[in-house]
Amino acid sequence: MKPFKKLFPLFFSVLLACSCASSANTDLNIEKKVAGLLSNMTLDEKIGQMTLISSTDLPLDGEFAEALRKGQVGSVINEVDPARVNALQRMAVEESRLGIPLIVGRDVIHGFKTIFPIPLGLAATFNPTLVEQGARVAALEATAAGVRWTFSPMLDITRDPRWGRIAEGFGEDTYFTSAMGVAMIRGYQGGEPGDPSNMAACIKHFVGYGAAEGGRDYNSTNLPERVLRNVYLPPFLAGVQAGAMTLMTSFNDNDGVPMTGNRFLVRNVLRHEWDFTGLVVSDWASVNEMIPHGFATDQAHAARLALEAGVDMDMMSFAYVGHLGKLVGEGAVSEKMIDEAVRNILRVKFQLGLFDNPYVQEDVHREMFYKPEHLELSRQSAVQSVILLSNDGTLPLDADKIRSVLVTGPMADAPHDQLGTWVFDGEEQATVTPLKAIREHYGHRLRVLYQPGLKYSRDKDLSGIRKAVEAARTVDVVIVCVGEESILSGEAHCLASLDLQGTQSELIAALKSTGKPVITVVMAGRPLTIEKEVSLSNALLYSFHPGTMGGVALADLIFGKEVPSGRLPVTFPKTSGQVPLYYNHNSSGRPFQGNETMLDQIPLKAGQTSLGNTSFYLDAGAAPLFPFGFGLSYTTFAYTNIRIDQVSYHQNDTMTMSFDLTNTGKTAATEVAQLYVCDKTGSVTRPVKELKKFERIALNPGETRTVIWNLPISELAFWNLQMEKVVEPGQFALWVSGDSASGEPILFEVKK
Ligand code: BGC
């Protein structure tokens, strides 16, 4: 049964049917070519195609070259020198028996040379179009160097900022992650099939990896099938439907089954239910890791489990190349399964046009890097990714009214660190820091002083703070840039405490004690617990590591050339003890009311009582510091006349709603309007709110726009008690607002 297909609206089916006629022919041609090639391959050559190795440091004249010529290596990662890429391709294409080209992969996660904000920052733009354009730039630059496959986008939902890889994803929301992921896939994979600037996307990590227990990377996950289907799988399904060419299995074991050996999820759900015909690659050595997991007894066993699960390509375990031949010989695995895997791999090579065009132009690739339009897109992405979390009116600064600023803090001039995690190819020399941008763009209008205060984010030396305070006394306004070095987030870099590292908090407090207005800029790879720093600051801008042009973006926002429009793609907790804390949690039988007795209000020798108890922490309540979707502007917006076209709908209907959005302030700005829905009663408990739509809307001062949105009722479907994806009839509420914690509910009903 393929229940999701039942819900696919007729409209889209018709559209797809029209646009698919020519691609069906291409597909048929490719299938013929794949079959022809496969029928000529020896078992060893097939297993070679299933082997992916990182070849960066391997000499081109030894064992490795021999393996390429024999067709024992099918693809490589981490090659970015076009001359080397071509040399490798020549061995595969011109010197091997069948001439099958290699795919060259690389982790191009948020840009290749021109670095964009980290994915969590791209998410904060709430702008899929911009994300798609950024991914296209990444593809143009990376393919110029010979990279035709990126291990991105990461579609892992995470509700835990301790997990360092929160930086690499789009946050905590399923619908939102799907939308952003699809945009990125489109950008990477480009338009016309076979275009040499197309880069295959790899949706990862399948699946549940972001729910690592305790936020510790590589840790177990325990997600029941319904939670997987309602929360963690939909972004992958969206990616598959958007045509992602490849997918990567994850490191985690879910409910005891490592994902690289998870037959149910990879073979049954991904392949059979979703009809995924792309290439499934393991994560780095994750085939072998089934041994320490205690799931495989040895490498041969691990190879068999991965193949049976449906993993086509082994990244860096050497388990397939080491054992599949023997396993086929013994009859332990069927060659049919191997053929299926090779078919999936060859299909992608044909789709990328590698057989026609395996080589890269060696002389021109640098011209593609850091083009002015790439840098401008990176700047624009950074501008839209910054979230204004608090402002007492100090921002924006008027460069003609204030006479001097102090720029301070360990992130004020940290060109390496503002690039964020997963930057193999970006260069700090190309990075514009806030200090550099303020000096260059505003230095002629006011005096700019600089004192780092601290050398790096973990620095505990107090002597620099004293110097910063002395300098602060001599200026009109202080801009302090704090946060995290890039190495503190990303893979394996998890934290138990989300407080600012080192003595950064002391730095802010000391600056505040001078009485000067303090603008705090936080540049980090994750949400940090900054309640104290918010209260010490006159204004606070949060910038998930913003990339190459981050400094220009921040300077322009601070001085009002740009207006903040970023919104939080994740909930900000007050303290890490509240984690996991996310807006779309299920309804509790005893929801937090907001008037609970807190720790300091409990009388001495209070007796035990169970009356009125709700779901909260005595010391931290239940509310976050900032909710999902939140972000301020230099203006204000009002939502009025929120209307829906009916009060009751059938399951096949489409709701039309409208509202008036007014810019009630004096500055032209962009609001991110958001639609949330709650299914009041279900056969299983339902989330208190779920995002169903969002749109960036630019308005001039005083302007009102009537916005009309359509919501197919089918989008209210979920996997219910019977494990069927359906819209259950009953009462629903919806909110149209500027974040997940505001707005008034409008009720409607869905009938059978
Ligand atoms: C990561 C993947 C990455 C791969 C290749 C692994 O350690 O988990 O996300 O794509 O390495 O570099």
CA-CA distance, 289 to 547, in Å (whole number)?
33
107, 173, 283, 739: which one is catalytic? 283
Question: Could you tell me the two tokens for 679?
Answer: 């299914």
Centre of ligand 1 from the C-alpha of residue 483, in Å = 25
Q: Whose CA is nearest to atom 5 of ligand 1?
A: 284
Question: Could you tell me the two tokens for 701?
Answer: 């001062």
| CATH superfamily ID and name for 637-751 | Immunoglobulins (2.60.40.10)
Check pLDDT > 60 for residue 12. no
Q: Whose CA is nearest to atom 2 of ligand 1?
A: 283
Q: Which residue has the tokens 């309602």?
A: 230
How confident is the model at residue 364, as a pLDDT? 84
668 contacts 699 by C-beta, under 8 angstroms: yes
491 lines ligand 1 (CB under 6 A): yes
728 contacts 720 by C-beta, under 8 angstroms: yes
Among 478, 501, 469, 504, residue whose Cα is nearest residue 558? 478
**In whole angstroms, how far apart are CA 236 and each of 157, 175, 251, 521?**
10, 11, 16, 34
Q: Whose CA is nearest to atom 6 of ligand 1?
A: 284
206 lines ligand 1 (CB under 6 A): no
Pocket mutation for ligand 1, best pick of 204, 313, 315, 491 (most atoms within 8 Å of C-beta): 491
Atom of ligand 1 nearest to the CA of 152: 10
Q: Whose CA is nearest to atom 12 of ligand 1?
A: 107
Q: Whose CA is nearest to atom 7 of ligand 1?
A: 284
How confident is the model at residue 8, as a pLDDT? 34
| Strand locations in 174-217 (E) | 202-206
Check pLDDT > 80 for residue 260. yes
Pocket mutation for ligand 1, best pick of 284, 315, 316, 494 (most atoms within 8 Å of C-beta): 284
Centre of ligand 1 from the C-alpha of residue 286, in Å = 10
Digit-coded pLDDT (tens) for 50-76 = 999 999 989 998 999 999 999 999 999
Atom of ligand 1 nearest to the CA of 151: 10
Domain positions in the chain are 637-751
Centre of ligand 1 from the C-alpha of residue 120, in Å = 17
Atom of ligand 1 nearest to the CA of 250: 8
Centre of ligand 1 from the C-alpha of residue 283, in Å = 6
| Catalytic annotation present for 107 | no
Residue 6's pLDDT band, with cuts at 50, 70 and 90, is very low
Digit-coded pLDDT (tens) for 163-187 = 999 999 999 999 999 999 999 999 9
- Which residues are registered as beta bridge partners of 638? 662
Pocket mutation for ligand 1, best pick of 79, 283, 286, 422 (most atoms within 8 Å of C-beta): 283
CA-CA distance, 556 to 538, in Å (whole number)?
18
289 lines ligand 1 (CB under 6 A): no
151 lines ligand 1 (CB under 6 A): yes
Report the pLDDT averaged over residues 639-658: 98
Find the helix or strand (DSSP H, E) in which 657 lies: strand 654-663
316 lines ligand 1 (CB under 6 A): no
How confident is the model at residue 22, as a pLDDT? 61
Centre of ligand 1 from the C-alpha of residue 180, in Å = 20
**In whole angstroms, how far apart are CA 737 and each of 122, 172, 412, 686?**
21, 18, 34, 20
Q: Whose CA is nearest to atom 4 of ligand 1?
A: 284
Atom of ligand 1 nearest to the CA of 251: 8
Digit-coded pLDDT (tens) for 384-435 = 999 999 999 999 999 999 999 999 999 999 999 999 999 999 999 999 999 9
Centre of ligand 1 from the C-alpha of residue 60, in Å = 24
How confident is the model at residue 281, as a pLDDT? 99
Centre of ligand 1 from the C-alpha of residue 106, in Å = 9
Digit-coded pLDDT (tens) for 188-241 = 999 788 899 999 999 999 999 999 999 999 999 999 999 999 999 999 999 999
Residue 737 phi, psi (nearest 5)? -165, 180
Atom of ligand 1 nearest to the CA of 78: 12
